[in-house]
Amino acid sequence: MKKTLKDMDFKGKKVLVRVDFNVPLKDREVTDTTRIEAALPTIEYLIKEGAKLLLISHLGRPGGEAKDELRMDPVAKKLANLLNKEVKKVDDCIGEDVEKAVADLKDGDVLVLENSRFYPGEKKNDPEFAKQLASLADIYVNDAFGAAHRAHATTVGVTEYLPSAAGFLMQRELNALGEVMENPASPFVAIMGGAKVSDKIDVIKNLITKVDSLIVGGGIANTFLLAKGYELGDSLVEADKVDLAKELMAEAEAKGVKIVLPIDVVIADDFSNEANTKVVQADQVPAGWQILDCGGPESLEQYKAIIKDAKTVIWNGPLGVFEMEKFAHGTIELAKALAESDAHSVIGGGDSAAAINKAGVADQMSHISTGGGASLMFFEGKELPGVAALDDVE
Ligand SMILES: Nc1ncnc2c1ncn2[C@@H]1O[C@H](COP(=O)(O)OP(=O)(O)O)[C@@H](O)[C@H]1O
Ligand SMILES: O=C(OP(=O)(O)O)[C@H](O)COP(=O)(O)O
């Protein structure tokens, strides 16, 4: 059991809080505040307890150097709006200016540090960088579930130098994901979509040992269809993963797990929303055409029947290229089917969470994770480095 906020006394303490404020920006404005809102319970609790808060996050992938368009200022501004309280911001995360700003903090004040990935030491988990960060604070709290699969200085390194605990969001995510993986009501159904089989192999391998049915959609379904000997035209396939797909299907069969592939699919003559499209059987994709949505009517009927009977469903990755209107149908219909079912539903962040929002059914899901990569690692059955590094309850 990891220490949580309730195990610690924060009054008057400088608390370095790792949050995942890696949010989408447009013209230097935050366009989706989900991740900021998800961290509010921890932030508000620490303010109430009289801590001095130093919030740190990465934003985008600046590659170890300062990039003005990836500064944390718009995030700090949004946080101030949401908290309805002044939020200070410094243009660095270590060094003299930061030390000064920290020294000026009063109990309950909030200071946002600069993007941690402006320093190459962040991703390298450089002990020197971690030590300098840690020297700013008395306690470290990790509430960045979305970054917990990264062994970086702000998620792992700093725990070497400070007493540490999990924040409320971290706790909520671990409980929700842990419950479905350890104690799922059956039938337990997993839906895996997205672009690449190579990203999902370990997840599929682990899920086969747990679920009753595994619906495989999105680009990754193509490689499984290829393994069944189907002609797939110009569809995205990973030819070098065909043998693996065969192995996974054999393994699933031996375990009595149903791997559910699309029956009919939406195909297009170009990877574009302006392409010509039609619905065909999955083994009838002509040359020059590609599968861009697994949601043909027969496929959807099949998925809906499975979901209707399910007691637990986890979902990671869209069924098609849902960013394009013409190929979003399957993903949106699946989201709606999930909303209508009585199943306990857990959505694994990233594009699947975006699809759920697009379908307008977010409030009908049991849990939508704030982490894409992190929830995938969890579904792989692996311990997240950012969690493993936190102090255990004595
Ligand atoms: N049939 C397909 N062909 C090509 N790309 C696809 C297909 N189906 C889905 N995709 C793409 O997969 C991407 C999401 O993949 P991935 O990053 O693995 O999912 P997630 O972010 O949910 O983990 C989306 O950008 C989507 O357009
Ligand atoms: O947005 C994130 O990942 P996600 O899109 O997989 O949830 C996290 O903030 C981690 O970011 P990273 O993948 O640049 O390490």
pLDDT tens for each residue of 311-356: 999 999 999 999 999 999 999 999 999 999 999 999 997 888 989 9
Return d(Cα 19, Cα 223) in angstroms, integer: 37
Query: 28 an active-site residue?
Result: no
pLDDT tier at 268, thresholds 50, 70, 90: very high
Return d(Cα 135, Cα 232) in angstroms, integer: 57
Query: Quick check: helix, strand or coil at residue 369?
Result: coil
Kindly list the structural domains of the chain, giving each domain's residue range(s) and its CATH number in brackets, ordered by start.
5-168 (3.40.50.1260), 176-379 (3.40.50.1260)
Mean pLDDT score across all residues of the chain? 96
Distance in Å, CA 370 to ligand 2 centroid? 9
Return d(Cα 209, Cα 177) in angstroms, integer: 16
**pLDDT of the residue at 394:** 82
pLDDT tens for each residue of 354-390: 899 999 999 999 999 999 999 999 999 999 999 999 9
Ligand 2, pocket residues at CB < 6 Å? 20, 22, 61, 146-147, 150, 349-350, 371-373
Distance in Å, CA 156 to ligand 1 centroid? 30
Backbone phi and psi for residue 33, each to the nearest 5 degrees, phi listed first = -95, 10
**pLDDT of the residue at 351:** 87
6 pLDDT above the threshold of 90: yes
Distance in Å, CA 188 to ligand 1 centroid? 23
- Among candidate residues 217, 233, 296, 350, the one labeled active-site is 350
Return d(Cα 158, Cα 80) in angstroms, integer: 26
């049915």: which residue's tokens? 213
236 lines ligand 1 (CB under 6 A): yes
Ligand closest to the CA atom of residue 232: 1
Verify cis geometry, omega within 30 degrees of 0, for the bond prior to 187. Answer: yes
**pLDDT of the residue at 349:** 78
Residue 345 CB coordination number (10 Å): 25
Indicate which residue's Cα is closest to atom 4 of ligand 2: 372
215 pLDDT above the threshold of 90: yes
Averaged over 273-283, what is the pLDDT? 97
Ligand closest to the CA atom of residue 144: 2
pLDDT tens for each residue of 99-121: 999 999 999 999 999 999 999 99
Ligand closest to the CA atom of residue 63: 2
The answer to the question of whether 91 is labelled as a binding residue is no
- Among candidate residues 2, 35, 71, 210, the one labeled active-site is 35
pLDDT tens for each residue of 126-140: 999 999 999 999 999
Return d(Cα 159, Cα 134) in angstroms, integer: 8
Q: How far apart are the first and last CA of the chain?
A: 9
Quick one: which atom of ligand 1 is closest to the CA of 292? 1
320 lines ligand 1 (CB under 6 A): yes
Nearest Cα to 111, choosing from 32, 27, 46? 46
Return d(Cα 270, Cα 129) in angstroms, integer: 48
Task: Give the ipTM of the model, two decimals please.
Answer: 0.94
Indicate which residue's Cα is closest to atom 4 of ligand 1: 219
**pLDDT of the residue at 98:** 98
Distance in Å, CA 371 to ligand 2 centroid? 7
Query: Quick check: helix, strand or coil at residue 60?
Result: coil
Quick one: which atom of ligand 1 is closest to the CA of 372? 23
Query: 350 an active-site residue?
Result: yes
**pLDDT of the residue at 94:** 98
pLDDT tier at 199, thresholds 50, 70, 90: confident
**pLDDT of the residue at 109:** 98
**pLDDT of the residue at 196:** 85
Return d(Cα 9, Cα 243) in angstroms, integer: 55
Ligand 1 pocket, mutate which of 149, 223, 285, 351 (most atoms under 8 A from CB): 351
Quick one: which atom of ligand 2 is closest to the CA of 144? 9
371 lines ligand 1 (CB under 6 A): no
Indicate which residue's Cα is closest to atom 20 of ligand 1: 317
Give the burial class of 131: count Cβ atoms within 10 A of its Cβ; 0-12 exposed, 13-18 middle, 19 or more buried: middle
The answer to the question of whether 58 is labelled as a binding residue is yes
Query: 196 an active-site residue?
Result: yes
pLDDT tens for each residue of 29-73: 999 999 999 999 999 999 999 999 999 999 999 999 999 999 999
Return d(Cα 322, Cα 319) in angstroms, integer: 8
Averaged over 224-243, what is the pLDDT? 95
- Among candidate residues 196, 205, 246, 311, the one labeled active-site is 196
391 and 170 in contact (C-beta within 8 Å)? no
197 pLDDT above the threshold of 90: no
Nearest Cα to 139, choosing from 248, 8, 328, 263? 8
Query: 18 an active-site residue?
Result: no
